[in-house]
Chain A
Amino acid sequence: MYEHASDHELIKAIAQKDTEAFKVFMTRYQDRVFRTVYRFVGDAESACDLVQDIFLKVYRAAHSYTPDAELFTWLYRIIANHCINFTVKQKKDPLFIAREHSQPSGSSEADRAHVESPEKNLLRQERSLRVRQALDSLPNRQKLAITLLRFEGLSYREIAAILGCSVSAVESLIFRGMETLKKSLSKEFAV
């Protein structure tokens, strides 16, 4: 029924608590939302829980969406808030034991591991871990701006709308984040 509905039509129906529309919306956006969250938190299990919470938030907050705002900006704001809240809680929780950065089964990384030689695979995994640690060391907003730019291909203007700041503030966030990453990953350049 809703397969060919526009995003706006879907959100309108979700606001009326239409679960069929909600299902179509989730199916449409699940991979995109999961990829963003997974790259931000670095752990498949936490990402899965977070994505579920994000969609539930969409369901509950659909009535507050106004068509004059871009839908993806509204959705990404929810994603950004959940991701930032997650890392804040994680840092505050003294009992939190950092999970190993797990990959979901069937991921492209897992597939690649089958093709590569064990040595190459190990090296790649180590490098990936160092990149993850470098990214995790950034302040949340820098990390988020870089994630949205690098992996979602959003423009500075779009990121500014999501983070609720100016384009020049986004430029500054990305510049500072990249400076830190460059220093942290300088050893990788020789590889």
Chain B
Amino acid sequence: MKCAEIHKRLKSYLDGQLPGYEAEKIRQHINDCQSCSREAALLSRTWELLLELPDAPAAPDLVPATLSHLQAESQESLFDKIFRRFIALPVPAVATAALILGLFIGAQLGTVISGMNVDIKDAEDPLHLDIFHELPSQTIGNAYIALNYPQEDEDL
């Protein structure tokens, strides 16, 4: 085995991941080769340095915090479910219901309004324009009364 090949497999060798016969070859090569032996030492030192990274257990409130998060989420999803069910109704059904409701309200309102209607023509004194009667002559108001109600004007 050449040194370049050994370098590629050194880490696996150090991790004990190689089959016995291959591990033995590498072990023998390292014993005889200064460069590969130095490389193995550098790798081991780098590997050791990784232990400088801090270690820590989980926060004590991790489990209760996750559970309350889950509870909040499930309440929210219940609301979503109801809302989705509502909006998931078939569109034609909703449109038909809205149309029927509109027609019903329209019919009801029509009845009420027709009952309130006043026939202007039949009213005896529909416009109650007495307030204009004393309008000074030569004003726009007076001219309007004269034009639209000539009879009344004559009576005046």
B-facing mask of A170-191, CB < 8 A → 1, else 0? Answer: 0100110010011001101100
In-complex Cβ contact of A175 among B11, B63, B65 (8 A):
B11
Chain B nearest Cβ from A142, distance in angstroms:
12
In-complex Cβ contact of A182 among B12, B42, B54, B58 (8 A):
B42
B43 within 8 A of A: yes
Which residues of chain B (47-74) have a CB below 8 Å from chain A?
A: 47, 49-59, 62-63, 65-67, 69-70, 73
Complex Cα distance, B12 from A188, in Å, reads 23
* Size of the chain A interface, CB-CB below 8 angstroms: 49
B-facing mask of A105-122, CB < 8 A → 1, else 0? Answer: 011110000000000000
Interface set of A (CB-CB < 8 Å, partner B): 19, 22-23, 26-27, 30-31, 33-35, 38-39, 42, 44, 48, 51-52, 55-56, 59, 101, 103-104, 106-109, 124, 127-128, 131-132, 135, 146, 149-151, 155-156, 171, 174-175, 178, 181-182, 185-186, 188-189
Chain B nearest Cβ from A141, distance in angstroms:
16
A-facing mask of B70-109, CB < 8 A → 1, else 0? Answer: 1001000000000000000000000000000000000000
B17 within 8 A of A: yes
Instruction: Identify the 6 closest CB pairs spanning chains A and B, nearest first.
Output: A107-B56, A34-B58, A109-B54, A30-B58, A128-B52, A131-B52
**A109 and chain B: residue at smallest CB distance:** B54
Interface set of B (CB-CB < 8 Å, partner A): 8-9, 11-12, 15, 17, 42-43, 45-47, 49-59, 62-63, 65-67, 69-70, 73
Chain B nearest Cβ from A151, distance in angstroms:
8
A156, B70: Cβ atoms under 8 Å? no
Tally the A-B contacts, defined by beta carbons under 8 Å.
116
Give 6 A-B contacts (CB < 8 Å), ordered by A residue: A30-B58, A48-B59, A103-B54, A109-B55, A127-B52, A131-B52
Classify the interface of chain A: helix, strand, loop or mixed: helix
Complex Cα distance, B56 from A31, in Å, reads 8
Given A30-B62, A52-B66, A156-B15, A128:B57 Cβ within 8 A: no
Complex Cα distance, B63 from A34, in Å, reads 12
A103, B56: Cβ atoms under 8 Å? yes
B63, A150: Cβ atoms under 8 Å? no
B42, A189: Cβ atoms under 8 Å? yes
